[in-house]
A and B are shown apart, each in its own frame.
Chain A
């Protein structure tokens, strides 16, 4: 590199860092530094959201000669104000792994051999033709919004089948059912702005310092500005987030429910609950087997149910000192304080995940810490579009776009209208949720295994499903079963696939994501995908057209192709034919159709072009009299949400009781399905680490990240290691009733589990911890519990 260019680069780095530093302190947004000039004009810059977590940071992507050469945090983006974490820094490099998949591959005599796209599309169509009902689609919170919408329409309208479910079932389904059971509609009422106004931030089994680093930076920034913000970490092991917390409340796995009940108990006992807010806007609810909405209970019944959860009883169950339960209740009982709760996998990957979610919402409602900036119960997501693509587009087996469900006639009618289907065109019975789908795929047909083919897009279930020995491995021994995988790199799942399809990723295609604060973001294709890799959306539409061409489905009630697309002059465009896919903006066509669903549950979306201009907009996005579009930061609160009826301060306009009230739940603590015993004396928790994103297929290809965290390990407390005669770095066997794993021990590692407890990260596909985990799941969300099972440990050499 010549010295002039290097000087340009240093100046650019300096300008970007200085701008980001001043932006993060709350200064008005400067323009992005003029990167075009500084890099000598050969580099073009465009916005895109980061490919990784649900924070949804915006990056400026620098492209030169068809290659991404630079990344800058986008100073105009509210989410990250010009900053990125270490994963965002590498998001550009993730495109350029040497082993990108570039050709369709078909398994022939045990080997994957290259075939043409035409043949691949023909094979998929043959599988559908043989038995459409046994064909399933397994998708992802990394699908873009238009891709997820196309997939949903492909299955539910095109094949008249609800056999579609996403990997998000494994990560945030319990948050969804928690929101539904409490407010009658999904997704947080607050937003990330709450982090700037909260006096207290409570992390419920959450480690944002590693999982959502830029969000966490927004919190710690406040401290560096001299503001007081109290962080309370309620967890089962110490993490990097704990290091920043004033209080660490270490609880025994599953007893978070008892802690929440203990705080509610004290609010009632101390008389510090918000009587005015509760009497005007809330009702009480208790559990009823098999009913997500439970049953109405009186305030007296609610109080009586909580009576046993004294601080001393909660201490006995949870191990958290009674004084700390009182401290929490004191904070919730103080209306002058603003409290934001954050949670992610700890509360969601939980066999009582729905119940636990409702209890945290209940604490905020009971105490009135709701609906003011800084007062919010807010769940976070790990994938960039778990909210946008899964929860909003409705790519689950029971859902329809815009928050609809297949079991409601009114919702089916809307889908039939938008998709121009005959009445009854949408099936009213949900398909199989993820665990059930894979169980049936791995069960021989004669024994009830009625799913014969799964098409996986943008996810890696052979690594991320629980109890892999049961859910994935057996299918590979059955010749009737056929696995199709669209991905960008070889993964644990592509390696067992019968057909592998190479996909375009991130800025190799147009896209839209929806982050954890209801923010819908848009970007344009900026570079070409390698070889024959193609958009997942195109793959779906190409197969859909072949199904249509053969007369097997994919048509509306007038016989037109469901993805029929025209150009600006009204001329048809054959978007199933790859050279024509970008003749029109397929994303714009799909999104503008999808937004017709969005008003049903007040998740209103603006037209596509509004997102081109913005760094994301938070729904509901409402058109103003002057033709502009206004986003909503705080739902259900009259000062910001246009759907709250005039004269009301708050209104829960999708209330399950249809009276504008949110539900305050009582749910009892119950023990977990498996606990340590004499044979399996340790708890095992699994999770993520800063350097790797989920199953590590992208971050594992970035040398600095891989070298910083080269392989999985088991964290163990020093006292346990001493008792077992295990030394740091020694290889051990961790064994559950389902499987075992051989890996090194890390004593006093990144996180610190207490005695009797272990932690293993799941990013390493050479060490699949999900051979060990449970597949018990929450009865409502069907989300499995990866956070607690019983294991034993022995030295590998013993």
Chain B
């Protein structure tokens, strides 16, 4: 169950166009595994991601990147202390 703290950089028009921010935060609220933990600060929005497994956090990350108005998604914190299985060898390789 990875827990991530991420920062989303928003396009300036999200803050300036009427209703832009509200519809953006609605879209965030509808994204499973994502919690808003603060207000945007100069276009930077802190979020917490909590997902079932590492594949899950990758798909949430991809969903965030693809939201209209998102310029970038960066990581601030990641915990993987309960990683149940170590990463596997490269597929198709003989070692």
> Given that A20-B76, A217-B72, A224-B44 are known contacts, is A10 also in contact with B58, CB under 8 Å in the complex?
no
Partner pick for B74 among A98, A214, A494, CB 8 A cutoff: A214
Set of chain B residues within 8 Å of A221, measured between Cβ atoms? 9, 43-44, 72
CB distance from B92 to the nearest CB of A (A): 5
Set of chain A residues within 8 Å of B62, measured between Cβ atoms? 708
B92 touches A13 (CB 8 A): no
Partner pick for B77 among A16, A489, A494, A701, CB 8 A cutoff: A16
CB distance from B11 to the nearest CB of A (A): 7
A17 touches B1 (CB 8 A): no
A224 touches B79 (CB 8 A): no
A97 at the interface (CB under 8 A from B): yes
> Given that A69-B79, A701-B89 are known contacts, is A220 also in contact with B71, CB under 8 Å in the complex?
yes
A681 at the interface (CB under 8 A from B): no
Q: Which residue of A lies closest to B16 (CB)?
A: A226
Partner pick for A99 among B4, B37, B82, B89, CB 8 A cutoff: B89
Set of chain B residues within 8 Å of A697, measured between Cβ atoms? 90
B46 touches A18 (CB 8 A): yes
Set of chain A residues within 8 Å of B28, measured between Cβ atoms? none
A98 touches B86 (CB 8 A): yes
Partner pick for A73 among B1, B49, B50, B76, CB 8 A cutoff: B76
- Size class of the A contact interface (CB-based, 8 Å): 35 or more
B residues 65-95 in Cβ contact with A at 8 Å: 71-72, 74-83, 86-95
CB distance from B2 to the nearest CB of A (A): 9
CB distance from B41 to the nearest CB of A (A): 5
Tell me the bound Cα distance from A425 to B61 in angstroms: 56
Q: How many residues of chain B have a CB within 8 Å of chain A?
A: 50
B18 at the interface (CB under 8 A from A): no
Set of chain A residues within 8 Å of B6, measured between Cβ atoms? 17
Set of chain A residues within 8 Å of B45, measured between Cβ atoms? 21
A128 at the interface (CB under 8 A from B): no
Set of chain B residues within 8 Å of A766, measured between Cβ atoms? 92-93
A residues 689-727 in Cβ contact with B at 8 Å: 696-697, 700-708, 710
> Given that A64-B81, A83-B76 are known contacts, is A20 also in contact with B5, CB under 8 Å in the complex?
yes
B9 touches A220 (CB 8 A): yes
CB distance from A214 to the nearest CB of B (A): 7
CB distance from B50 to the nearest CB of A (A): 7
Partner pick for B76 among A84, A223, A702, A706, CB 8 A cutoff: A84
CB distance from B10 to the nearest CB of A (A): 5
A549 at the interface (CB under 8 A from B): no
Partner pick for B89 among A6, A21, A98, A226, CB 8 A cutoff: A98
A17 touches B76 (CB 8 A): yes
B42 at the interface (CB under 8 A from A): yes
B42 touches A12 (CB 8 A): no
Scoring A residues 74 to 101 as 1 if CB is less than 8 Å from chain B, else 0, what string do you get?
0000000011111011001110111100
Tell me the bound Cα distance from A625 to B43 in angstroms: 42
Set of chain A residues within 8 Å of B95, measured between Cβ atoms? 99, 490, 494-495
B74 touches A223 (CB 8 A): no
Interface centre among B72, B76, B83 (most CB of A within 10 A): B76
Partner pick for B88 among A88, A225, A490, A703, CB 8 A cutoff: A703
A62 at the interface (CB under 8 A from B): yes
B71 touches A701 (CB 8 A): no
Partner pick for A98 among B38, B49, B76, B88, CB 8 A cutoff: B88
Q: Which residue of B lies closest to A94 (CB)?
A: B87
CB distance from B4 to the nearest CB of A (A): 6
Q: Which residue of A lies closest to B81 (CB)?
A: A69
Interface centre among A15, A17, A70, A92 (most CB of B within 10 A): A17
Tell me the bound Cα distance from A72 to B76 in angstroms: 5
B residues 21-41 in Cβ contact with A at 8 Å: 37-38, 41
A707 touches B72 (CB 8 A): no
Set of chain A residues within 8 Å of B3, measured between Cβ atoms? 6, 9-10, 12-13
Tell me the bound Cα distance from A18 to B7 in angstroms: 8
> Given that A12-B79, A21-B7, A83-B7 are known contacts, is A73 also in contact with B74, CB under 8 Å in the complex?
yes
Set of chain A residues within 8 Å of B92, measured between Cβ atoms? 766
> Given that A13-B77, A71-B77, A73-B77 are known contacts, is A21 also in contact with B44, CB under 8 Å in the complex?
yes
A728 at the interface (CB under 8 A from B): no
18 contacts between A and B (CB under 8 A): A6-B3, A10-B3, A10-B50, A13-B48, A17-B5, A17-B37, A17-B47, A17-B48, A21-B45, A71-B75, A93-B87, A98-B89, A216-B72, A217-B72, A224-B9, A489-B90, A490-B93, A701-B87
Instruction: Give the top 9 A-B pairs by smallest Cβ distance, nearest first.
Output: A224-B43, A13-B5, A17-B5, A704-B58, A17-B46, A69-B81, A16-B77, A490-B95, A83-B74
